[in-house]
Each structure stands twice: as C-alpha cells, then as structure tokens.
Amino acid sequence: MSRAPYDQPSTIQPVDGEVTVVGPGPVGVSITPQAARETARRLGQAADRAEDGHVERIDPDDADAVAIWAQRLGVTPDAVRNAVIAVGGDSEAVAMRLASARGAAD
C-alpha cells in the first residue's frame, strides 16, 4: 500500500434505524443493520487473514482469475490487467488503484 494504515478504529453509531461508520480518515457511510452485521463478519475474517500475513495475488495471465477479479471489482478484465502491471499482483493494491482511478474519473 502507498500509505501507512490507520491505527484508530472507526466510530460506529446507530442513527435512525441505520448504522453509521465514520473515520478514520475519509470513511463515512450509513448502512442497514443487516449490512452492518455482514460487514462486521467480513472485517473479522479479513483481520484474521491479515494477521496471518495473507495476501491474495492476481495472476494477469490467468484469464479465469482476471475475470473473477474484474467482476468483484466492477471493472473490465483489461482494467484489472493494467492495474496489475502498474502496482503488482497484490489484490488490495490493485483494488486501491482501480478505486483511485474511478475517483479521478468522477
């Protein structure tokens, strides 16, 4: 990743039947209680994998894997391949690169 991860947790509050998540940094979202529960589950799983040093790699020469990542990330397979060329095969770095590119295009 290009910057150090935040070491402070998000602030989470129930507001008008929704769950709001604020910070750290530019994070701000309001989600349903069901989405909050699923997000909490996924965060726990990802934290466990991160502590174990797990990094998912994207092989740009594996057409099936590229197609799966393209669908997950909501981009074309060519966009995934180009991002891998730019930042390497670390799936998190690729996702950040593509999100950054989408933000720049908005």
Report the C-alpha gap between 48 and 22 in whole angstroms.
22
Inter-helix orientation angle 91-105/77-87, to 10°: 110
Cα 80 to the center of its chain, rounded Å: 14
Percentage of residues in the chain having pLDDT higher than 70: 92
Query: How confident is residue 51, by pLDDT bands cut at 50, 70 and 90?
Result: confident
Cα 90 to the center of its chain, rounded Å: 12
Q: What's the confidence (pLDDT) of residue 1?
A: 43
| C-alpha angle 18-10-14 in degrees, rounded to nearest 5 | 20
Query: Which region among 9-23, 44-58, 70-84, 86-100 has the lowest average model confidence (pLDDT)?
Result: 44-58
Contacts 24+ apart (CB under 8 A), 35-44: 36/12
Q: What's the confidence (pLDDT) of residue 103?
A: 60
Sheet bearing 11-15, strands edge to edge: 11-15, 18-22, 28-31
**Residue 20 exposed, middle or buried by CB count within 10 Å (0-12, 13-18, 19+):** middle
| DSSP 8-class letter at 12 | E
